């Protein structure tokens, strides 16, 4: 290969690398800016709109939540105040398992110490 062809190929490689780095830099700057956040949220919103009717919810899954109504109900009817004792969760787990639950997941942290006897 002649020197002029080698220089031309090298210059082309330099331009490709420089263009890629410049594209990455511009992409990073846009992503880190409020404009990038707005674009990301709008694209995510569009994805959720298209996906909402694509899958029917699984009727075999039930989600039990603890909300203010739950807290008030148990406070009124069973004199159980928050935080509920751990035996309450043991009873609930046993009840759900007897009802055929294949998985029971709690999403909270038990921070109060309980003495096991």
- pLDDT band at residue 84, thresholds of 50, 70 and 90? confident
Hey, what are 94's tokens? 């046993």
Please give the backbone phi and psi of residue 105, each rounded to the nearest 5 degrees, phi first. Answer: -125, 130
More confident residue, 5 or 23: 23
Task: Name residues whose C-beta falls within 8 Å of residue 110's C-beta, 6 or more positions apart in sequence.
Answer: 83, 86
pLDDT tops 80 at residue 53: no
* pLDDT higher than threshold 70 for residue 22: yes
DSSP string, 62-103: ------HHHHHHHHHHS-PPSSPPHHHHHHHHHHHHHTT-S-
Distance CA 105, CA 103 (A): 7
- Contacts for 11-17: CB closer than 8 Å, 24+ residues apart: none
Q: What percent of the chain has pLDDT over 90?
A: 18
Condensed to tens digits (0 to 9), the pLDDT of residues 61-73 reads 888 888 889 888 8
Residue 20: the pLDDT is: 92
């Amino acid at each position: 290969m002649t020197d002029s062809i080698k220089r031309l190929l090298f210059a082309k490689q330099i331009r490709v690398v420089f263009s890629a780095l410049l594209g990455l830099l511009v992409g990073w700057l846009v992503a880190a800016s409020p404009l990038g956040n707005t674009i990301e949220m709008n694209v995510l919103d569009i994805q959720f709109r298209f996906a909402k009717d694509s899958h029917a919810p699984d009727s075999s899954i039930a989600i039990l939540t603890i909300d203010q109504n739950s807290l008030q109900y148990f406070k009124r009817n069973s004199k159980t105040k928050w935080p509920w004792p751990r035996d309450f969760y043991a009873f609930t787990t046993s009840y759900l398992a007897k009802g055929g639950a294949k998985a029971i997941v709690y999403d909270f942290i038990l921070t109060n110490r309980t003495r096991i006897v």
